[in-house]
Amino acid sequence: MSIDTASQSARETAPRTGIRRTHPAPSFGQSVSLVAGREILARVRSKAFLISTGILLLLSVGSVVVGGIVGANPTLPKVAVVGTAAEVVAGSPTLEAVAVDSVDAAKKLVRDGTVSAAVVPSTDTASALDVSVIALDSPPGDVLQALSVTPEVELLQPADQNGFLVYLVAIGFGLIFFVSAMTFGSIIAQSVVEEKQTRVVEILMSTIPVRALLAGKILGNSIMAFGQIVVIGVLVSIGMIVTGQRVLLADVGPSIAWFAVFFAFGFVLLAALYAATASLVSRQEDVGSVTSPVMMLVMLPYILVILFNDNPLVLGIMSYVPFSAPVGMPLRLFTGSAEWWEPLLSLAILITTTAIVIVIGSRIYSNSLLRMGARVSLREALRG
């Protein structure tokens, strides 16, 4: 037996007590969990993220506190009075009376917004009350509470919700969706390009699947974004209770809950788009150009609710378009213009669209992540 053969035989029969050991590769679920945990820790340790989150929370709570203060210290409502109705209004120190000659003149002042309501002699012979109230689109609660009687109320233009309140809720939903989606979406895009630029992604992909890397990024940032929305909702609810706005909370509470549900799936959709589009480039300078279409999709719901928050047709379309449903459907639920089955249908459309976008985005991300240099075209990324 040669020396080489004897040495080989000895190595094969000797116990394997060396220090080198092989570790099994992490499973797909473990890989996703590791990446998601890394993303969450990175956000928590970021001073910029903590400061921006604190500002957003302060703005949300501050708006509730200011609303409570304004509601607790209202100005005296002006009411137009006709004839003997002036005597009823005179007995209330919380109303400012504006005398007019006729009911038509009083209605004119109500329509042009000069007065909150009109108090006129009652024309109902069967009624035991002496006066009735005329308002524009909703019963004037402050006027009715100030009167010593509960008169009949006539509405010139009946509405389901107070117009100004609907506007505030629309702005709130739109702004929170816009800020959160833009903040976390930009973080995802910058993270993807940074990993490509520094070649860290090559090390990561030698250990974990590329789709696990994408899933972990989306999951980690989605958890942070959703957590931010939940914290805002809880603080706003507490603020309404403390400032005595329980009635408003009862009206807007279900809409806030639906907004959180729609936001959870809507953000996953946007996060997949941000990651996929960012993987097409290798420099931070090019991130804005490739993610600008996604940014437009984020901005669109905010712009639409500002301009068309009182337009049933536009809101109806928004509530079924996946990119705007997280804003449009909760707003319709608040105004009472949506049937019970509509949010379920809208959510099903959103979930289906999110699944399709994740599949397409995963293909783009996988085919583009290791390609350096010039920008990868969308056609090349889809073909592989």
pLDDT in tens, 32-55: 999 999 999 988 888 878 888 888
What residues have CB less than 8 Å from 59, skipping those under 6 apart? Answer: none
Rg, the chain, Cα only: 31
Q: Which residues contact 127 (CB under 8 A, 6 or more apart)?
A: 152
> Could you read off the pLDDT of 209-252 as tens digits, one per residue?
888 999 999 999 999 999 988 898 888 888 888 877 776 777 78
Task: Spell out the SS3 assignment of 112-148.
Answer: CCCCCEEEEECCCCCCCCCEEEEECCCCCHHHHHHCC
Residue 326 pLDDT exceeds 90: yes
Picking from 346, 355, 304, the residue whose alpha carbon sits closest to that of residue 326 is 346
pTM greater than the 0.85 cutoff:
no
Tell which residue, 248, 229, 228, 251, has the closest CA to residue 240.
248
Phi/psi for 31 (5° steps) reads: -65, -45
> Rounded to whole angstroms, how far apart are CA atoms 103 and 120?
7
Q: What is the reported pLDDT for 273? A: 94
pLDDT per residue as tens digits for the range 82-102? 887 777 777 676 778 888 888
Tokens 């004839």, located at residue? 83
**Average pLDDT value for residue range 274-280:** 93
pLDDT at site 90: 75
Could you say which DSSP state residue 206 is in?
T
**Type and span of the H or E element at 169:** helix 163-197
Sign of CA dihedral 308, 164, 264, 185: positive
CB distance 273 to 290 below 8 Å: no
Range 13-23 average pLDDT: 49
Residue 284 DSSP symbol: G
Tokens encoding 43: 């956000």
* Residues 200-218: tens digit of each pLDDT: 888 888 888 888 999 999 9
- Would you say the C-alpha torsion 270, 276, 278, 280 has a positive or negative sign? negative
Predicted confidence at residue 74, as pLDDT, reads 54
For residue 174, the model assigns a pLDDT of: 87
Tokens of 311: 């337009």
Contact of 301 with 174, CB cutoff 8 Å: yes
Bridge partners of residue 135, in order along the sequence: 155
Q: What is the pLDDT of residue 354?
A: 95
CB atoms under 10 Å from CB of 300, counted, come to: 17
Chain centroid offset of residue 220 CA: 18
Question: Distance between CA 383 and CA 363 in Å, rounded?
Answer: 9
**How many Cβ atoms from other residues are within 10 Å of residue 275's Cβ?**
27
Which residues, 6 or more positions from 29, have their beta carbon under 8 angstroms from its beta carbon?
Answer: none
Residue 102 to residue 81: CA distance in whole angstroms: 9
The whole-angstrom distance between residue 56's C-alpha and the CA centroid of its chain comes to 12
Q: Which of 345, 334, 344, 60 is nearest to 177 (CA)?
A: 60
Whole-number Å distance between alpha carbons of 265 and 268 = 5
H or E segment to which residue 219 belongs: helix 210-242
C-alpha 70/C-alpha 246 separation (Å) is 15
